[in-house]
Structure 1
Amino acid sequence: MDLLLNPFKEKLFFSVLLLLSFFSVFAQGGAQPKKEVKEVKIDSLYREDQFYFGFTYNTLKQMPEDASQQKFSIGISGGFLRDMPVNKDRTVAFASGLGLSYNNYNQNIGISGTAQDAIYTVLGSQSNFDKNKFTQLLVDVPLEFRWRTSTYESYKFWRIYGGMKFSYLVYSKSVLENNEGRVVITNNADFNKLLYGLYLSAGFNTLNVYAYYGLNPVFKSAEIDGKKIDMNAVTIGVIFYIL
């Protein structure tokens, strides 16, 4: 009897061992490695701090009688703005910053003489001169109010920004070329050193339209035939905002 039981016990032992090995292999094969989930941090306190670059068409308003602009006058500007949100959704903000502007004005008001004692005349038709323009380089300090539809998830949004810009004239140059020669005057003392005006920009994402209206005249003391030159600058163009 014992001889019969011993082979049976051996078969039962090996059968149980084989079954346990099968379940162990199956359990290891079915186990999946854990994936590492990266935590995404949401910046709910974002700011629209940004660089800006603008390209404009420059015009002069309230020009003297018979004076007019000639050719195409351009302006280029750029700088940085610091964003300061004032509501919880951060869609309303104030901003200020620092920038530079270069403005070119082609017109027929001839400037001769010297920087301290300039003489102004209306040149008439362009056939009387080859070139006549003045250029300005200014340091800008914009102060603006901002409304936008931005969120912390997207940087593509509608915006309306507007405010006042103060500009300090750091360099000016006028060039007059006619049959009498070439007159170049730098840093004309008659130009207003401090210019200020209202501006507005509006658009979607990076590209926006831009307009500026000067509130004080370009010249502070220039005259033609005893009449003060009260021209002010008006510019329109496009402005790009880049984070």
Structure 2
Amino acid sequence: MRLLFSCLFLISFFNVFSQEEKPEIKPVVKIDSLYREDQFYVSVTYNLLADAPEGIKRDKFSAGISAGFLRDMPINKKRTFAIAAGLGLTYQNYFQNLTISKDGSGALIYGVNDYNEFVSNRFRQYLVDVPIEFRWRNSTYESYKFWRIYTGLKFSYVISSRSVLDDGENTYKINNNPDVNKFQYGAYISAGYNTWNIYFYYGLNPLFKDVKTVLGEDVKMKTMSLGLIFYIL
């Protein structure tokens, strides 16, 4: 009998031991306290001209598109303020009535013509951009949706330009016009929430160097862009 009771006791002990619950091990979630924001950008804009000679008018939709990379460098502990610098490319297209043609000697002639005096007229340029901006946002490491205001300067170098004028009798194609300012710079601001952000750029130096129209007016017009900019992590 003693042997029987001893066996029953041991069986009960092992049964209780085998049913003991093991503690659940939960994965450790690592908080990224060194997160950065908005590394890539794409903008789509409507191009305008400021300080243009009298009589300059726009025709059709003058579009522009930019894309590039920005290095985000937070400057406070909460990482809501930052400085960013980057590199990008811009395409700008302008439809307007400032015409560029050539005389018999090949010299460039700038005129302001009515739209009924030519068939088509356009100017476009491609630029390499170096934006430098100051950033504010109310982001956290947990949220990708936040308010932002970014402002700064953009320095650009024209790698290619082309104007095409069809006056009905002749077509003037001018590539890499030497009168175009190769180095252009301006101020900009972008603001918005999450994906949608408005964007405004104002050129601080003229599009062309010291040139005049056939009527003797200075061509000191500057570029402006208004549109949307999208940021991608």
Q: What TM-score, normalized by structure 2, do the two folds share?
A: 0.93
Q: Which secondary structure state, in structure 2, belongs to the residue aligned with residue 175 of structure 1? A: strand
1:144 and 2:133 matched: yes
Other-structure match for 2:33: 44
Other-structure match for 2:178: 189
Offset at 1:25?
1.4
Residue 203 to residue 49, structure 1, CA distance change in 2 (3 Å) = closer
Cα distance between partner residues in 1 of 2:167 and 2:209 = 26
1:15 and 2:8 matched: no
Say which of 147, 168, 188 aligns to 1:199: 188
Q: Which runs of 4+ in 1 moved over 6 A?
A: none
Would the aligned equivalents of 1:67 and 1:124 in 2 still touch at CA under 8 Å?
no
1:111 and 2:75 matched: no
Other-structure match for 1:240: 230
Other-structure match for 2:218: 228
Cα distance between partner residues in 2 of 1:221 and 1:188 = 13
Cα distance between partner residues in 2 of 1:15 and 1:88 = 69
Say which of 147, 156, 160 aligns to 1:158: 147
Q: Which has the larger radius of gyration?
A: 1
Other-structure match for 1:28: 18
User: What is the percent sequence identity of the aligned residues?
Assistant: 53
Q: Which secondary structure state, in structure 2, belongs to the residue aligned with residue 134 of structure 1? A: strand
- Point out the structure with the larger helix share: 1
CA deviations 1:191-227 (Å, max 9, x no partner) are 1111111100001123211001111111112211222
Would the aligned equivalents of 1:54 and 1:77 in 2 still touch at CA under 8 Å?
yes
Indicate the RMSD between aligned Cα atoms, in angstroms: 1.6
Q: Which stretch shows the higher mean deviation, 209-218 or 105-114?
A: 105-114
Residue 210 to residue 219, structure 1, CA distance change in 2 (3 Å) = same
One-letter amino acid of the structure 2 residue matched with residue 140 of structure 1:
D
Name structure 2 gaps, 5 residues minimum. none
Q: What TM-score, normalized by structure 1, do the two folds share?
A: 0.89
1:88 and 2:81 matched: no
Offset at 1:72?
0.5
Other-structure match for 1:132: 121
Q: Which secondary structure state, in structure 2, belongs to the residue aligned with residue 81 of structure 1? A: strand
1:167 and 2:149 matched: no
Other-structure match for 1:213: 202
CA deviations 1:170-193 (Å, max 9, x no partner) are 110001123113211100011111
One-letter amino acid of the structure 1 residue matched with residue 110 of structure 2:
Y
Would the aligned equivalents of 1:191 and 1:221 in 2 still touch at CA under 8 Å?
no
